[in-house]
Chains A and B, each alone.
Chain A
Amino acid sequence: MKKKVIVACGGAVATSTIAANKVVELCKNNGIDVEICQCRISEIASNLPADLIVTTSNVRRDYGIPLIKGMPFISGMGVEKTEANILKVLNK
């Protein structure tokens, strides 16, 4: 089944593009069919429902679905752990 992932950042231009590319690559390598929705943080609610939210900033609001911080994709530190967490959610 196709999974929908919302990738959000402040402006929907720079950091979310990096994170979205990483999520697509990760899913491709693990045989997960994924649909990416790239938007601003303020637009997350309107793009629900989805299976997972990945944000490149600290979002503390509860959207009722798993939310993973994609900061490691930007900083390059702790990428493997983040990837494992994403796979855990999407492989459910």
Chain B
Amino acid sequence: MTGFLNGAYFVINYIIDMGASVMLPIIIAILSIILGVKVGKAIRAGLMIGVGFVGMGLIVDMMNANMGPAAQAMANRLGVSLSIVEVGWPGMSGVTWGSIVATIAIPLAIAVNLIMFALKLTKTINIDIWNVWHMAFTGAIAYAVTGNLWIGLLGVVFHAVISYKLGDLWAPLLNDYFGLESLTAPHGTSAYMAPIACLVDAIIEKIPGLNKVNLSIEGLQEKIGVLGEPVVIGGILGTIIGFLAGYGPQEALPLGIKMSAVMVLMPRMIKCIMDGLLPLSERAKEVMHNHFGDDADFYIGLDPAVLLGDPEVVTAGIIFIPITLFIAIIMPGNRILPFGDLATIGFFIAIAVAVHKGNLFRTLISGSCIMAMTIWITNQTVPWTTKLGQSVGAVGANETLAAMDQGGSPLTYIFTQLFTRENMAGLIVIAAIYIVCMVFAVMHSRARQAELDASMDEEY
């Protein structure tokens, strides 16, 4: 028996040592075949994941090689501290899928979901395998930092349990504001940051005068045209940072083009990973559907991307590009230069918009709190995300890796800090703020459900 275990251990380690771009394709292909995907299709899926991983590595390398020194030079020249360019969720999700924890996280997250549903602890059924990466991130970080796989898996369970509860909390709001009946978006940044919006909303409601204020900007997207597109944001930001770094046009303009390339190419690379996960995620969806039928009382958990088309979310997402940069500049001691997540700030604030029922004034205030907290936490998790990036071979020994999306997650921070105890003051403050916000989130969700029930009664 020991011989067999030692043998299995040797084989697994041998595969892990070949790196994520080999390990992942093998594991995903095997997992797909086990779940009934045809062999050829499963092999193709595995290879696509490898391709996505290699592609992501190329882009992160290029970004670090070009933007890194420019941000450093800019920081030195201007006396600001923003020297770490964040890669955003596309880069961070790719790195997370490279961790061994992420692969185990898929069945683990499904199992936690089924158990919670069976015990009536949640009404959310998550059919979105892609976004399991958010749960996997907490585990992957905890594993990379502590070196203990069990703590890593516990991290996945911790994040998964909270995600499904958040799914229950936000379902009435998604129904009411976005018109998505029986659907919810349990995972991702907007779900776990929206409790902050609930607290802000409750406070504003109590302030006479302020509670009457509403702003509205009609058709901002049409007005600014291509300025809101990732390719343009990347180009402008890259060029400006080049000039601020003291580069001449001959260096600043190529930097702009390269940053446009990062913005456009990064999601295309990550899309390959999604392509590879597709057969697996479609099978998981089928299994879930067959298991629960159509008439049971549950919320289907979807990708928060379904919220990003709402006009108020789009408008707020555009306004928050400059606001986020401004917060990053004025925050004392901040080292994070927002970049990769700028084009999709909607992912941070989409549910906050629903909390405020589309009131832009309130979204601006709560969104600023959300982005400030995100940047604050991201600063503290840089050593962790860097360690994760290095452990999967996506970043070199002297490079850093940071992302606001997930890198700035209070869930990941609180969980990992519990085991590392590097910064007890930070842990206590962030945990206290977050728990208070959660209490308000529960109250807000109940009030919105009551409103929904009341309006249903009126109709009959």
Enumerate chain A interface residues (CB-CB to B < 8 A): 8-18, 21, 38, 40-43, 45-46, 55-61, 71, 74-77
- Given A11-B344, A40-B343, A45-B225, are A74 and B302 neighbors across the interface (CB < 8 Å)? yes
| 20 contacting pairs across A/B (C-beta < 8 A) | A10-B303, A10-B306, A13-B90, A13-B93, A17-B278, A18-B281, A38-B271, A40-B267, A41-B309, A41-B314, A55-B309, A56-B303, A56-B309, A57-B307, A59-B309, A61-B222, A61-B311, A74-B302, A76-B127, A77-B294
Cβ–Cβ contact B278 & A21, under 8 A: yes
Give the shortest distance, in Å, between B370 (CB) and chain A (any CB): 17
In angstroms, Cα B93 to Cα A16, docked, is 17
Let me know if B361 is at the binding interface, CB within 8 A.
no
A21→B316 CA distance, assembly (Å): 30
Contact A13 B307 (CB under 8 A): no
The interface residues of chain B, by DSSP majority, are classed as helix
Does B130 sit at the interface, judged by CB under 8 A?
yes
Partner among A43, A46, A71 whose Cβ is within 8 Å of the Cβ of B306: A71
B46 within 8 A of A: no
> Distance in Å from the Cβ of A11 to the closest Cβ of chain B?
5
B290 to chain A, nearest CB (A): 11
**Residues in A whose Cβ lies below 8 Å from that of B228:** 42
Q: List the A side residues contacting B89 at CB < 8 Å.
A: 11
On chain A, the residues within 8 Å of B131 by CB distance are 14
Q: Which residues of B contact A74 (CB under 8 A)?
A: 128, 302-303, 306
Chain A residue at minimum C-beta to C-beta distance from B133:
A14
Instruction: Output the nearest chain B residue to A41 by Cβ-Cβ distance.
Output: B309
Of the candidates B183, B221, B347, the one whose C-beta lies within 8 Å of that of A10 is B347
Contact call B271/A17, Cβ cutoff below 8 A: yes
Cα A13 to Cα B267 in complex, Å, equals: 6
Contacts of A8 in B (CB 8 A): 309
Shortest Cβ gap from B94 to chain A (Å): 10
Q: How many residues of B contact A (CB 8 A)?
A: 48
Q: Is the CB of B130 within 8 A of A58?
A: no
In the bound complex, how far is the Cα of B268 from the Cα of A12, in angstroms? Answer: 8
Distance, CA A56 to CA B222, complexed state (A): 20
* Chain B residue nearest in CB terms to A17: B274
**Least Cβ–Cβ distance between B249 and chain A, in angstroms:** 26
Would A56 and B305 count as touching, CB distance under 8 A? yes
Partner of B267, one of A11, A46, A57, A60: A11
| Binary A-proximity of B48-67 (CB < 8 A = 1, otherwise 0) | 00000000000000000000
**Residue in B closest to A60 when the chains form the complex, CB atoms:** B311
Query: Which A-chain residue is minimally distant from B271 (CB atoms)?
Result: A13
Could you tell me the distance in whole angstroms from the C-beta of A70 to the nearest C-beta in chain B?
Answer: 10
Q: Does B226 belong to the interface (CB within 8 Å)?
A: yes
Q: Does B229 contact A (CB under 8 A)?
A: yes
B41 within 8 A of A: no
| B171 is an interface residue with CB less than 8 A from chain A | no
Is B275 among interface residues, defined by CB-CB distance under 8 A?
yes
Cα-based distance from A74 to B127 in the complex (angstroms): 9
For the complex, is B178 an interface residue (Cβ under 8 Å from A)? yes
Inside 8 A of B128's CB, which chain A residues have their CB? 14, 74
| B343 neighbours in A (Cβ, 8 Å) | 40, 42
